A = this chain, B = another copy of it.
Amino acid sequence: MKNIYIIGIGLIGGSLAKDIKKLHPDAVIHGISRKESTLDEALSLNLIDKKATLDDVAKADLVIIAIPVDATVKILPSVLDRISDTGLVVDAGSTKVDICKVVENHPKRRNFLAMHPIAGTEYSGPSAAISGLFVGKTNIICEVEKTTFKLQEKALDLFKAIGMRIRYMNPEAHDKHIAYVSHLSHISSFMLGKTVIDKERNERDIFDMAGSGFASTVRLAKSSPEMWTPIFEQNKQNVIETLEEYINNLTHFKELMKANDFDAIYKEMKNTNHIKDILKGIS
């Protein structure tokens, strides 16, 4: 792997750049971005070696697309149009159905691998990139059978060297399940933040009483709306379904409180308490 092109040098693209450069010091990492200022920042942070444009990907051994999922859907066909027979294109989007669909009949479909590395922080942009972000983290690969065997192998060798745990899934199952363990958490956090901020307008000093528990539950409300709006749009049906289940559970909890059924409230919490054991494997 000599020529690597990364489209979008933010948290994910920049962190991948760092890990790849460490594994392949001779590789040349080219950055592509809509914004010149992002490329300048990425250069000054040593995330990339050179600036490039879309037409340059004809020379790529590997192209990584790490931009918002609506932009990925738009740009992915043009990237595949330009890729060489031995070049590999991967995307790192948080949704997989629309992205896989837009290239399903593309003549170069076999040069594409759809992935979703489940790693990140609530920060964004080149300065958010960190080394080792993907160590021990799950990377979900969709429709692996649609990628040329040699390019599959190349990609998996790289992902494993970076430290990722690989899981295979179809795009529909990915989008459905990720709505529960990622997309819903973000909405929960954003709306919790909103509820308290709205209250603070009338009742000052509320935040002076906030502790680490509050900070933990609203941490994801710091996330980028530019990145998350298209995710919710592409995964609309699944997200609405999870939101409805969540709202029903909250409403049930509220009704139990109104009915003074605190034995049932206790049981609701006790039954969820074994999340302890589940979380042991995660954080």
Residues of A within 8 A of B (CB): 118-122, 137-138, 140, 167, 174, 176-178, 180-182, 184-199, 203, 205-223, 225-226, 228-230, 232-233, 236, 239-240, 242-247, 249-251, 253-254, 257-258, 260, 262, 265-266, 268-276, 278-279, 281-283
**In whole Å, how far is A265's beta carbon from the nearest beta carbon of chain B?**
6
Known: A177-B205, A216-B219, A225-B273. 14 other contacts (CB 8 A): A118-B211, A137-B211, A184-B196, A185-B216, A187-B250, A193-B275, A207-B278, A215-B279, A218-B279, A226-B266, A229-B265, A236-B260, A240-B254, A240-B258
Partner of A269, one of B182, B228, B240: B228
A233 partner residues in chain B, CB cutoff 8 A: 260, 262, 265
Q: Say yes or no: A213 contacts B120, CB within 8 Å.
A: yes
Q: Say yes or no: B199 contacts A180, CB within 8 Å.
A: yes
Q: Closest B residue to A191 by CB, please name it.
A: B249
A-B pairs with the 10 shortest C-beta distances? A225-B269, A215-B283, A181-B210, A185-B217, A118-B211, A193-B272, A193-B275, A191-B249, A229-B266, A243-B254
Most buried by B among A180, A205, A243: A180
Q: Say yes or no: A247 contacts B250, CB within 8 Å.
A: yes
Q: Say yes or no: B214 contacts A216, CB within 8 Å.
A: no
Bound Cα distance A61, B221 (Å):
46
Bound Cα distance A265, B228 (Å):
9
Bound Cα distance A272, B219 (Å):
11
A188 partner residues in chain B, CB cutoff 8 A: 188, 192, 217, 250
Partner of A268, one of B194, B203, B250: B194
Q: Say yes or no: B209 contacts A138, CB within 8 Å.
A: yes
- Decide: A273 near B240, CB < 8 A? Known: A191-B249, A247-B251, A250-B187: no
A275 partner residues in chain B, CB cutoff 8 A: 193, 197, 218, 221-222
- Decide: A177 near B192, CB < 8 A? Known: A220-B217, A262-B232, A283-B215: no
Bound Cα distance A187, B182 (Å):
18
A258 partner residues in chain B, CB cutoff 8 A: 240
Q: Closest B residue to A226 by CB, please name it.
A: B266
**In whole Å, how far is A192's beta carbon from the nearest beta carbon of chain B?**
5
